[in-house]
């Protein structure tokens, strides 16, 4: 009988995530803060742990140091011991410095030695940049019952969103009979979650067949569907790809909505609080007499003297008297000085908003960011880590303040909608 832990897990965590803009200027996307105290990758790692799987390889590439430091020995997710383990798999460069992973299949192909060194009947391939809760062991049991060569985690999405995903057409037995990668015209609403179970030998054979096949969705899956047994594993829970600023903001806001279906604590999501000394051993949050808080998630170690509405605050955030934070995500140890207003804004860590400043000024949200119109177009303003917004400064909608911007970086007292500093 198959036991939990038989499958090997490969967690793909090397993507640039460029659409998150300044949030990924110094770190990989899976290492971005989420929900106050977590990192995005915590959800995949915790799902693996809670599914009883014990051998994990994390494939890194883009700016991996923060991610590597966060994962550390894997002890936070119980990946330590004689029969357990997590290994960071750094990029395997070719003959040129820029010859890194060309796609998801190429990344796995360049780590075949890790697969060979960890004997398993199946390989579970995951992405490290999704927010969700899933039992991978149940998916493994489904894969085995179907006698599948490959099983793909899939869920129903609105047809207008299908162009963002791989799309599968299935028969009455959930066998995938046709596949379209990011189709412009939707023929189905069944989308790939980027979660795969492969029989190990089948995976090795697929990767050896043609080294020009560099991507699972574009190359490996279509061939397998045409020639072998590929099944869809239906998923019905909460799942969100947080690869855009709007999706990232919305997933954080979902934490404030009991009807959204996202419950990190109930799901057993863990994080490594020891990885960042400033995250561990925080005192209880202090709410002073002038504090007003409504429908917000406030982490430990904050000091609230002002007003916080519908927002997510990481540890150590200070909101001074008469300051207002609304519809925003504020990362750790940011200080919002007296009388400042922060509206529909995402700030990275250690930002300072000067006295009386306004970030997210005005009612017009339709002027996209001039430099990155596909990143910021819904009114959200971004402030990079260590930035300092000068007192009385007014910053409009869809603006970007770069990491480490100083007060001297600003000219005048108003930054119009869609502009950047």
* pLDDT, tens digit (0-9, with 9 covering 90-100), for 35-44: 999 999 999 9
Mean pLDDT for 114-141 is 95
- Where do the structural domains in the chain lie, given as residue ranges? 8-254, 280-421
Q: Which tokens belong to 290?
A: 């002038």
Q: Which tokens belong to 213?
A: 């096949």
Q: What percent of the chain has pLDDT over 90?
A: 81
H or E element, residue 227: helix 221-227
pLDDT band for 269, please (50, 70, 90 cuts): very high
Q: Mean pLDDT of all residues in the chain?
A: 92
**What three-state secondary structure class fits 46?**
helix
Confidence at residue 280, expressed as pLDDT on a 0 to 100 scale: 62
User: Where would I find the H helices in 21-100?
Assistant: 41-50, 65-71
pLDDT band for 327, please (50, 70, 90 cuts): very high
CA 377 to chain CA centroid, Å, is 20
Of residues 6, 89, 126, 112, the one with CA closest to residue 54: 6
Confidence at residue 93, expressed as pLDDT on a 0 to 100 scale: 54
Confidence at residue 95, expressed as pLDDT on a 0 to 100 scale: 42
CA dihedral 69, 71, 75, 76 (to 10 degrees): 110
Decide yes or no: CATH 3.90.550.10 for domain 8-254. Answer: yes
Q: Which pairing describes strands 400-401 and 345-347: parallel, antiparallel, or unpaired? A: unpaired
Examine domains 8-254 and 280-421 and report if their fold is the same: no
φ, ψ at 227 (rounded to 5°): -120, -20
Mean pLDDT for 163-188 is 92
Confidence at residue 281, expressed as pLDDT on a 0 to 100 scale: 77
Place of tokens 């379209």: 180
Q: Which of 112-126, 265-279, 285-299, 400-414 has the lowest mean pLDDT?
A: 265-279
Who has greater pLDDT, 298 or 276? 298
State the Cα–Cα distance between residues 346 and 370, nearest whole angstrom. Answer: 18
Taking 60 as the threshold, does the pLDDT of residue 98 lie above it?
no
Decide yes or no: CATH 3.30.390.50 for domain 280-421. Answer: no
Taking 50 as the threshold, does the pLDDT of residue 1 lie above it?
no
Confidence at residue 278, expressed as pLDDT on a 0 to 100 scale: 58
* pLDDT, tens digit (0-9, with 9 covering 90-100), for 363-395: 878 899 999 999 999 999 999 999 999 999 999
Q: Which of 3-12, 21-30, 127-136, 410-419 has the lowest mean pLDDT?
A: 3-12
Mean pLDDT for 264-281 is 82
Confidence at residue 238, expressed as pLDDT on a 0 to 100 scale: 96
Confidence at residue 196, expressed as pLDDT on a 0 to 100 scale: 97
Confidence at residue 97, expressed as pLDDT on a 0 to 100 scale: 47
Mean pLDDT for 7-36 is 92
Taking 60 as the threshold, does the pLDDT of residue 311 lie above it?
yes
State the Cα–Cα distance between residues 345 and 324, nearest whole angstrom. Answer: 12
pLDDT band for 7, please (50, 70, 90 cuts): very high
State the Cα–Cα distance between residues 155 and 95, nearest whole angstrom. Answer: 40
What does pTM read for this prediction? 0.94
φ, ψ at 192 (rounded to 5°): -75, 140
Buried b (16+ CB within 10 A) or exposed e, 300-326: bbbbbbbbbebbbbbbbbbbbebbbbb
Taking 60 as the threshold, does the pLDDT of residue 277 lie above it?
no
Of residues 323, 313, 317, the one with CA closest to residue 292: 323
Taking 50 as the threshold, does the pLDDT of residue 3 lie above it?
no
Taking 50 as the threshold, does the pLDDT of residue 190 lie above it?
yes
Confidence at residue 136, expressed as pLDDT on a 0 to 100 scale: 97
Of residues 145, 144, 247, 161, the one with CA closest to residue 198: 144
pLDDT band for 276, please (50, 70, 90 cuts): low
């Amino acid at each position: 009988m198959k036991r939990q832990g038989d499958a090997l897990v490969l967690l793909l965590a090397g993507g640039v995530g460029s659409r998150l803009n300044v949030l990924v200027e110094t770190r990989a996307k899976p290492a971005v803060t989420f929900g106050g105290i977590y990192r995005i990758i915590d959800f995949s790692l915790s799902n693996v742990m809670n599914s009883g799987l014990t051998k994990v390889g994390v494939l890194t590439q883009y700016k991996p140091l923060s991610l590597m430091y966060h994962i550390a020995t894997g002890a936070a997710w119980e990946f330590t011991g004689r029969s357990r383990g997590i290994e960071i798999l750094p990029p395997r460069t070719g003959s040129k410095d820029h010859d890194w992973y060309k796609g998801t299949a190429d990344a796995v192909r360049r780590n075949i030695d890790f697969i060979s060194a960890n004997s398993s009947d199946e390989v579970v391939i995951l992405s490290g940049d999704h927010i969700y809760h899933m039992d991978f062991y149940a998916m493994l049991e489904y894969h085995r019952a179907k006698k599948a060569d490959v099983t793909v985690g899939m869920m129903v999405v609105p047809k207008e969103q299908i162009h963002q995903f791989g799309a599968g057409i299935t028969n009455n037995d959930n066998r995938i009979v046709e596949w379209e990668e990011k189709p412009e015209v939707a023929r189905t609403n069944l989308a790939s979650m980027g979660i795969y179970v492969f029989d190990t030998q089948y995976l090795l054979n697929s990767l050896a067949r043609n080294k020009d096949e560099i991507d699972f969705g574009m190359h490996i899956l279509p061939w397998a569907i045409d020639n072998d047994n590929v099944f869809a594993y239906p998923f019905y829970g909460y799942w969100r790809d947080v690869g855009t600023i709007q999706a990232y903001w919305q997933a954080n806001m979902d934490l404030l909505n009991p009807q959204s279906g996202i419950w990190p604590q109930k799901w057993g999501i863990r994080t490594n609080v020891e990885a960042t000394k400033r995250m561990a051993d925080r005192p209880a949050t202090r709410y002073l007499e002038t504090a007003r808080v409504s429908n917000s998630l406030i982490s430990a170690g904050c000091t609230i003297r002002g007003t916080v509405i519908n927002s997510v605050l990481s540890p150590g955030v200070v909101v001074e008297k008469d300051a207002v934070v609304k519809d925003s995500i504020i990362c750790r140890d940011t200080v919002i000085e007296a009388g400042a207003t922060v509206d529909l804004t995402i700030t990275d860590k250690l930002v300072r908003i000067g006295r009386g400043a306004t970030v997210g000024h005005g009612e017009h949200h339709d002027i996209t960011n001039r430099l990155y119109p596909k990143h910021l177009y819904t009114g959200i303003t971004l402030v990079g880590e260590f930035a300092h917004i000068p007192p009385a400064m007014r910053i409009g909608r869809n603006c970007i303040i770069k990491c480490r911007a100083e007060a001297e970086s600003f000219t005048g007292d108003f930054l119009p909608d869609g502009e950047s500093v």
